[in-house]
Amino acid sequence: MERPHPSNRQINEDLLRPILHTSWRFYAATLLLGLSLLAAVLAWSYQIHRGIGVAGIRYPVMWAFYITNFVFWIGISHAGTLISAILRLVNAGWRRPITRCAEAITVFALMVGSMFPIIHLGRPWLFFWLIPYPNERLIWPNFRSPLMWDFMAINTYLIGSVTYLYLPMVPDLAAVRDRSRGLRRKIYSLLALGWQGTATQWNRLERAISIMAVIIVPVAVSVHTIVSWDFAMTLNPMWKSTIFGPYFVVGAIFSGIAALILAMAVLRKILRLEEYLKPLHFDNLGKLLLTMSCLWFYFTFAEYLTVWYNNEPHELVVFRSKVSGRYAPLFWTMMAGNFVIPMILLGIRRLRTITGTAIAAFTVVVAMWLERFLIIVPTLAHPRLPFVRGTYAPTWVEITITVGTVAYFALLYLIFTKLFPIISLWELKEGYRERRARTSLAVPVAAASGAGELRP
């Protein structure tokens, strides 16, 4: 028998509790994540002082951990805005408790990912040279370069994602405003934009959200397509592929769904949201993750099969280094994490539980980072001219910065859950109202059919 839906008062108490009440766990987690972030800042400061050479970057492997992290986090950013927008457009009712969780991931992943090109620079204080603006040097960026396209696409995506995250939050910000006092009330009043819940305001809000949902989908697809062109526009082995655009987009959605499942699992446990993040949501996202796993395997198989069949010497060197050479352990770990384990845990219904889905999502996140690493490093270590081959090994600086940026993402997400409802109150209530309306319409029909009978 289906459990009764929680009342509006219960929803407000459960979802506003993390905002209005702070436990010691919040301060402990903030301190731990802050220390990890501080360690990363110190490591980056050391790199700026001593030079980029302390990062282990050596010719010809000039892209390594930092660019791997850049591509990885831009892919993770597809968790929210793209997935949320698609689910809104198809009017999937089960999406309501997860949309804001996903949209927040998009914004914070973009904030983290966009840092890495600057971290990668030898002179990061000159990053503004990448920005196309009139200057006395009369030097403009090369608009034919995909790196310039990255700047345009990522900033457009970030602005659109922040707008798409903020618009559905306005009614909930008003709800927090009405339960706050003093300075907090003034701040939330400013953020709520004078929201009073009139019919005109609701109509304009829903129209704006629908427009943004339509706009953000092609923007999100274009972002990771342009990131893939950073590689495909070169002549390096196993990069010059026309399939890289959809391959990167599929991988981005794949890793984004996995990151969303992990975030939901953590939020469900820590914030006691079992009533709202239900097994149904993990089951549906698990099916989506399984679908994307199959698509990812298809694109990977097509890419590697083409390279193997063409039998070009400079590409086979990179191919063999991944499949049976130095990078083989990472390659087969990637295949297990992205395909084998998800197929087992998500393809078998009994194993597609909350725990099983979370484990599969974790393996996907790790394996997708390995995939980005394997795209970059083996190719650069075995370029087209064999006499300039090289090796790469990460240093403590790169590892510390990588771990610190993961902590930075988690810290941003933690602070967000403290300041704003992580589940949309008004969307959740709207979904419950629609269910009650359908139930109330079904009862008279059943009663009119006679005892124990239903109309065909």
- How high is the pLDDT of residue 272? 85
DSSP class of residue 96 equals T
pTM: 0.88
Residue that is written with structure tokens 């109330």 in the block:
440
* Per-residue confidence band for 259, with pLDDT thresholds at 50, 70 and 90: very high
* Per-residue confidence band for 137, with pLDDT thresholds at 50, 70 and 90: low
Residue 59: inside a domain, yes or no?
yes
Share of the chain above pLDDT 70, in %: 90
Residue 253: inside a domain, yes or no?
yes
* Per-residue confidence band for 132, with pLDDT thresholds at 50, 70 and 90: low
* Domain CATH for 285: 1.20.1630.10
The strand ranges marked E within 51-189 are none
Residue 455: inside a domain, yes or no?
no
Residue that is written with structure tokens 């920005």 in the block:
131
Residue 288: inside a domain, yes or no?
yes
- Please provide the DSSP assignment of 200-230 as one string: HHHHHHHHHHHHHHHHHHHHHHHHHHHHHHH
Sort 237 into a burial class: Cβ within 10 Å, 0-12 / 13-18 / 19+: buried
User: In this predicted model, what pLDDT tens digit does every residue of 196-206 receive, in sequence order?
Assistant: 888 898 899 88
CA 402 to CA 404: how far, in whole Å?
5
User: In this predicted model, what pLDDT tens digit does every residue of 1-53 receive, in sequence order?
Assistant: 445 667 777 787 878 888 888 888 889 999 999 999 999 999 999 999 888 88
Overall number of domains in the chain: 1
Q: Is the dihedral of CA 320, 321, 324, 327 positive or negative?
A: negative
- Beta-carbon contacts of residue 379 (< 8 Å; ≥ 6 apart): 236, 237, 238, 239, 318
Q: Is the pLDDT of residue 130 over 90?
A: no
- How high is the pLDDT of residue 11? 80
* Per-residue confidence band for 361, with pLDDT thresholds at 50, 70 and 90: very high
User: In this predicted model, what pLDDT tens digit does every residue of 317-338 receive, in sequence order?
Assistant: 889 999 998 999 999 999 999 9
**The pair of three-digit structure tokens given for residue 441, joined into one six-digit string:** 């319409």
- How high is the pLDDT of residue 62? 84
Average pLDDT over residues 309-320: 88
- List helix spans (H) across 114-169: 116-120, 146-166
Q: Is the pLDDT of residue 233 over 60?
A: yes
- How high is the pLDDT of residue 453? 34
Q: At what angle do helices 244-270 and 99-113 cross, to 10 degrees?
A: 120
**The pair of three-digit structure tokens given for residue 270, joined into one six-digit string:** 């820590």
* Per-residue confidence band for 93, with pLDDT thresholds at 50, 70 and 90: confident
Sort 442 into a burial class: Cβ within 10 Å, 0-12 / 13-18 / 19+: exposed
Share of the chain above pLDDT 90, in %: 32
CA 8 to CA 19: how far, in whole Å?
17
Answer whether 109's CB lies under 8 Å from 409's CB.
yes
Residue 197 Rama label (left phi>0; alpha psi -120 to 50; beta): left
Residue 386: inside a domain, yes or no?
yes
Average pLDDT over residues 113-120: 88
Answer whether 260's CB lies under 8 Å from 83's CB.
yes
Average pLDDT over residues 96-123: 88
Residue 359: inside a domain, yes or no?
yes
Range of 418's domain? 8-129+140-442
Q: Is the dihedral of CA 261, 220, 339, 403 positive or negative?
A: negative
CA 301 to CA 321: how far, in whole Å?
16
- How high is the pLDDT of residue 136? 65
Residue 449: inside a domain, yes or no?
no
- How high is the pLDDT of residue 444? 47
CA 288 to CA 292: how far, in whole Å?
6
Residue 182: inside a domain, yes or no?
yes
Average pLDDT, the chain: 84
User: In this predicted model, what pLDDT tens digit does every residue of 364-391 receive, in sequence order?
Assistant: 999 999 999 999 999 888 877 665 767 7
* Per-residue confidence band for 155, with pLDDT thresholds at 50, 70 and 90: confident
- How high is the pLDDT of residue 456? 31
User: In this predicted model, what pLDDT tens digit does every residue of 162-203 receive, in sequence order?
Assistant: 898 898 899 888 888 888 888 888 998 898 888 888 889 889
Question: Within a 10 A sphere around the Cβ of 38, how many other Cβ atoms?
Answer: 12
Answer whether 322's CB lies under 8 Å from 374's CB.
yes
Answer whether 411's CB lies under 8 Å from 30's CB.
yes
Q: Which of 123, 56, 87, 131 is nearest to 253 (CA)?
A: 87
Question: Within a 10 A sphere around the Cβ of 13, how many other Cβ atoms?
Answer: 13
Q: Is the pLDDT of residue 129 over 60?
A: yes
Q: How far is CA 121 from the centre of its chain?
A: 24
Q: Which of 110, 116, 205, 234 is nearest to 160 (CA)?
A: 110
Q: Which amino acid is at 58?
A: R
For the chain, the residue count is 456
Q: Is the pLDDT of residue 241 over 50?
A: yes
**The pair of three-digit structure tokens given for residue 329, joined into one six-digit string:** 């352990």
